Amino acid sequence: MDKVVLVTGGNRGIGLEICRQLAEKGATVVLTARDESKGAAARDTLAKSGFTVAFQALDVADSASIKALKTQLENEYGRLDVLINNAGIGVGNKKAMDADFSEVKEIMATNFYGPWELTIALLPLLRKSNDARIINMSSGMGALDSLPAGSYAGYRLSKTSLNGLSMMLAGELENENIAVNAMCPGWVRTDMGGQGAPRSVQQGADTAVWLALEASSSISGKFYRDRKEIPW
C-alpha cells in the first residue's frame, strides 16, 4: 500500500517540490497550506504535470485548524505514515539583544509551536502505520555552533528549538516504531531564500523525500543535510 504522506506548507518552494517528488515515487500525498486558494492552485499545478495530490487547508499556528485536519485524515485514510513539518516563516533579521518580540512570537508560532502541536495531534494516526516517520524541516542556522553568528535571532532559535524537539520525540517514541529526524535543505532559491541562493528546490527537497521513503526506519534522532548526518 502506498505511504500516506502529509506535507505542511506544500503550496510553494521546497514544500511543493517535496510533494512533486513524493507523488512521482508513488506516495499518497496530502498537500497542506494556510491559504486555501494557493493550496488548491498548487494541487492543480501538480495535476497539470501528471501528479495527483490531495489538498487540505491547514494553519499550523491554529489549534482548531489542526483538529479539523486530523479529523479529515482519519476519515479519508485512517492512518498517516509520514508527517513532514515543512511550513515555516523567516521574518526579521534582528540580533537577540534587539529582538522585536511580537515578531519572535510569530516566528515561533509557525516554526516551532505549530509543528509540535500538529505532531502530537497526529500521533494516533502515525501509530497506525507500520513504518511511521516524522521529518522536521530545520536549518543549519539553528545548529548550536551557528548561534554566536547573531542576526535572525528569532528564526535561528525557532530552528534550534525544533531540533531539540526532534531529539526529545525520537527518544520518547523509540519503542513505538516511529522515527523522528530533522533536516537542513541548505540555502535554496525560493521566496524565502531569494534568487541568489546556490541550491535548487530539487536539491532542497531531496533529503526530505529520502527520509520519508527510502532511509532505514532505524534512523531516528538525527540531523541531516544531503542525506548525510550533520552536527546539531
Helices (H), the chain: 13-24, 36-48, 63-76, 101-108, 114-126, 153-172, 201-213
**Domains observed in the chain:** 4-229 (3.40.50.720)
The catalytic residue among 113, 152, 155, 224 is 152
- State the pLDDT at residue 92: 79
- For the chain, 232 residues long, give each residue's pLDDT as a single digit of tens: 589 999 999 999 999 999 999 999 999 999 999 999 999 999 999 999 999 999 999 999 999 999 999 999 999 999 999 999 999 998 778 999 999 999 999 999 999 999 999 999 999 999 999 999 999 999 999 999 999 987 999 999 999 999 999 999 999 999 999 999 999 997 666 666 667 766 788 999 999 999 999 999 999 999 999 999 999 9
- The pLDDT score that the predictor gives to residue 150 is 77
Q: Are 133 and 151 contacting, i.e. CB atoms less than 8 angstroms apart?
A: no
CA pair distance 38, 15, nearest whole angstrom:
13
In this structure, what C-alpha cell is assigned to residue 149? 553568528
Q: Is the pTM of this model over 0.85?
A: yes
Bridge partners of residue 181, in order along the sequence: 135
77 given a catalytic annotation: no
